[in-house]
Structures are given as C-alpha cells and as structure tokens.
Structure 1
Amino acid sequence: MNTRDVPAELTRLVWTLHRVLNQAGRPPAGEQVRPPAQVELLQLVRDEPGISVRDAAEALHMQPHNVSTLVTLLVRDGLLDRTPHPDDRRTAQLRPTRAMLGAGRQIDSNLHLGVANALADLPAESLDRISAALPDLWQLAEQLTPPRP
C-alpha cells in the first residue's frame, strides 16, 4: 500500500471497527440502545468516577449545557449518580450506578468475547501483526487527541 493512502484507509478502518463494535455492543435485555454521546459520557464517568460536568464536557469536547442535559437523562434512567462536590457544593460529581456498572461489564464481556473469537479465526501471523501494531495505534491516538486548554 502506498503510504499516502494510509490516512484514508486507516480512517475508514477505524470508523468501520467503531460501527461494528457499536452494533455488537448491544445493551443487556431490557435496556435501551443509547445514543453515542450518552455512551461516551457513561464510559468517561466509568473511567473517571467523580468527574465534574465541566470536566466531562471538556474531555468530550462538548458544551457543558449539552453534557448537563445528558447527565439529567442518565440520572433519570438510573445509570449515573450526581452528587455535590464535598469542597464546592456548586459543582456536581458524576459517578456510575451499580446498574450502569453491571450493564457495562456485560457489554464489555460480550465485546471482548466477540473480538477474541474473531481473532482466533485469523491466521497466527495476522494476530502477531495486529498485536505488534497496538502500541503504535495507541501512540497515534495520543497524537490525535487535542490538547486540553
């Protein structure tokens, strides 16, 4: 492959993987499919419990008002807890609920199993190349991440 084609091909691949994983990561029975913005916020709060709405908005490159609206919906649905910060009652901390953590574990488990099964069907050389590329792909993700102001 010509190195000039790599950015376009990699972008297509990442979007395709995102779509396929999103489709495979259906919520557990009885849970509704969430819009991507809600899923991103839930993942962020899971990874950074106690994060504020403002910090979440900054991390997601969204307006605080929009994140606040998402938080209201997710609190209503029992997936997030919003509590006052102990040092500043004007600031709310966001934490995942047990229901959210349980659903997230089930989705992650199903996704990991699906990816593991797909990788097992590939030739050993393909798995070796994919494994070898992971550190470089993580470094690329860091390079693409906009700096925080």
Structure 2
Amino acid sequence: MAWRSFESFNYPNSYIRHRGFLGELTPIQDNSDLDKMDATFNLEWIDESRNLARLRSYNYPNSFLRHQDFRIKLHPDNPADSLMQADSTFVVVQGLAYPYGFEFISFRSMNFSDRYIRHRDFHLYVDFIPQNDQLALKDSTFRITNPAIRWPQ
C-alpha cells in the first residue's frame, strides 16, 4: 500500500487527519503515535485513468474518509452502499492554489463535482471553491508527504 499524509498548503505542519471520526486539520505531535496514525492514509486508486481515489485510514483499515452533510467523516467501508462509495471517492486534481504538478493536490468530490475537500476553522468539509477566492483555493490544497507514521527499521 502507498501510505501517505497530506499537509496543508497554507498551514505547513498541519495535516488532514481524523479525530473522533471527523475530518480535521491539525499539527502532528512528534511524540503522539495516535496523531501520526490518524494522519496517515492510503491513497487508494479506484480508476487511475480518471484520477478517482479514496483515502483509507491507517489505523482503521476498513474505514475511509467520506463526506456526509458536507462534513468529512471517517466511516467503515460498505461496498453494498452506493452512497458511501460515491461520498468516499474523490477526483485527485492539481492543487487549486498551486497547479504546477502533482506535489500539491486537491480532492474534488465525485458526486458533488463543484466541491472540494477544504479546511475551515481546521475542520474538513467538501465546499464550493470560487476561483477568485485565494483563501478558499489555499484551504483546499494539500502537499503529498511521506506517511506521518514511521515503521520500525
């Protein structure tokens, strides 16, 4: 698996993570294995030709980030639930605030194609991002990094 973490474009050292089964953006404490595990995901490709992917949790390996009522949450996978599948699938695009390659990316909702994962007040949502709103563009852009959790050598 390709475990990764996703660092905020405009808040360096803050990462996409789940806490209490909600999507959040927080710094990762060096001495907190829980923080590191919560901020580590497998970018699991559903259809690479269309850049469709899901974010599988490291420490809850049967759970994925999804949006529900536009809030990002961590939910157990249910292949029979078509809404869960759609809500947890994102189109990976070049970063809205930094569209110069795939070091920075944004996650566009598959079933709400005008909405992207964005942090607001450090909580994660899928939100409409106006092209002239520089803060919104930055809030919805993330840098792909090595996983926050490190395995023993």
Q: Please indicate, yes or no, whether the TM-score normalized by the shorter chain is above 0.5.
A: no
Greater length-normalized contact order (CA 8 Å, ≥ 6 residues apart): 2
The TM-score with structure 2 as length reference comes to 0.27
Q: Larger % of helix: which?
A: 1
